[in-house]
């Protein structure tokens, strides 16, 4: 049994009187690659944003190495430094070049030496194939390139878990592949990943576990073979049949 990184217990979230997540339980262990699938509005992204404390859950707990990060006296910023996030809309810092984007967090948050941070950032920028573009500003590169930089930026912080919030949904179809390739390589290198996605092929081929969400609850979860090959619940069957077309 691999070391447990995150344990989510009875997590609920409502916006006003509207419940978005209800009693969510799941764990993330080292080396897991978990895909969260489900229809729009099923609460996938909210779940991910709760895990990163970008949204404050209404109730429940998030244990990070056994310590509840929702309790008083915990520092969200410190916790977030260990949990990387890649957004649908990239969210690269527009006032910085590609390289600075990957360096600033290491220097400001991890207090690394600027030169060491640069070398470390270059390592990941090369992995995602963006090393030639380090002098470009985010507005000068394409969506797929931006997302690859965003992945390098998150990875340069050496996170324990990397969260992906629909990383390819805002991309033109021909750019989806380049981002998925980078993610596939990351998964193969043993990175712990939690991916909210509409890319069924990715969920099936790359992830080790698939979570299907419906109406704010985890409807079904299991290995890709189980969930795609032999779904148990009617909702899951209906959802998957829409993708098979």
Partner 1 sequence: MNKFAQLGADIAKLWTKYSGAYISGIENTLILALIGTVIGCLIGFICGVLNTIPYSRSDHPVKRFFLKLIRVIIRIYVEVFRGTPMVLQAVFLFYGLPYFTDNAVKFTSVWAAAIVVVSINTGAYMAESVRGGIISVDPGQTEGAKAIGMTHVQTMTSVILPQALRNIMPQIGNNFIINVKDTSVMFIIGFPDFFAAHRATVGASYLYFPSATVEMVGYLTMTLLASFLLRWVEKRLDGAGSYELVQTDQLTMTAGTYNHPDRGTPFDERSKEYGQTGKEER
Q: Could you say which of 11, 128, 186, 203 contacts partner 1 (CB under 8 A)?
A: 128
Span interacting with partner 1, options 9-17, 89-97, 215-223, 234-242, rule CB under 8 A: 89-97
Q: How far is residue 76's CA from residue 22's CA, in Å, rounded to a whole number?
A: 23
Cβ(161)–Cβ(6) under 8 Å?
A: yes
**Residue 122 region, left (φ>0) first, then alpha (ψ -120 to 50), else beta?**
alpha
Cβ(185)–Cβ(127) under 8 Å?
A: yes
- Mask for 42-81, x = binds partner 1 (CB under 8 A): ----------x-x-x-------------------xxxxxx
Span interacting with partner 1, options 9-17, 174-182, 209-217, 234-242, rule CB under 8 A: 174-182
Q: Site residues for partner 1, window 190-229 (CB under 8 A)?
A: 205
CB-nearer residue toward partner 1: 108 or 233: 108
Q: Could you say which of 33, 157, 187, 191 contacts partner 1 (CB under 8 A)?
A: 157
User: Does 231 engage in binding with partner 1 (CB under 8 A)?
Assistant: no
In whole angstroms, the minimum distance from the beta carbon of 78 to partner 1 comes to: 7
DSSP for 167-212, please give it. Answer: TTTTS-HHHHHHHHHHHHHHHHTT-EEEEE-S-HHHHHHT-SEEEE
Could you give the C-alpha distances from 67 to 30, 72, 73, 79, in angstroms and in order? 16, 11, 11, 11
Q: How far is residue 240's CA from residue 171's CA, in Å, rounded to a whole number?
A: 23
User: Does 104 engage in binding with partner 1 (CB under 8 A)?
Assistant: yes
Q: How far is residue 66's CA from residue 4's CA, in Å, rounded to a whole number?
A: 8
Binding-site ranges for partner 1 (CB under 8 A): 52, 54, 56, 76-82, 84-85, 87, 89-95, 97, 104-105, 108-110, 126, 128-137, 140, 148, 150, 153-154, 157, 177-178, 181-182, 184, 205
């Amino acid at each position: 049994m691999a070391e447990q990184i995150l344990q989510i217990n009875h997590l609920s979230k409502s916006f006003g009187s509207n419940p978005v997540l209800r009693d969510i339980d799941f764990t993330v262990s080292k080396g897991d690659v978990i895909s969260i699938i489900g229809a729009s509005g099923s609460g996938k992204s909210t779940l991910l944003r709760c895990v990163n404390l970008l949204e404050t859950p209404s109730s429940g707990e998030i244990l990070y190495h056994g310590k509840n990060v929702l309790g008083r006296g915990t520092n969200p910023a410190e916790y977030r430094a260990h949990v990387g996030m890649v957004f649908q809309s990239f969210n690269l810092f527009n006032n910085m070049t590609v390289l600075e984007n990957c360096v600033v967090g290491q220097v400001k948050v991890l207090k690394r030496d600027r030169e060491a941070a640069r070398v470390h950032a270059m390592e990941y920028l090369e992995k995602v194939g963006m090393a030639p573009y380090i002098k470009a500003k985010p507005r000068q590169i394409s969506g797929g390139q931006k997302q690859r930089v965003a992945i390098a930026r998150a990875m340069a912080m050496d996170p324990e878990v990397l969260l992906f919030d629909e990383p390819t949904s805002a991309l033109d179809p021909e750019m989806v592949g380049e981002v998925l390739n980078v993610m596939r390589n990351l998964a193969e290198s043993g990175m712990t990943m939690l991916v909210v996605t509409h890319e069924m092929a990715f969920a099936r081929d790359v992830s080790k576990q698939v979570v299907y969400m419906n109406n704010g609850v985890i409807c079904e979860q299991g290995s890709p073979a189980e969930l795609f090959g032999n779904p148990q619940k009617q909702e899951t069957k209906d959802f998957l049949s829409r993708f098979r077309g």
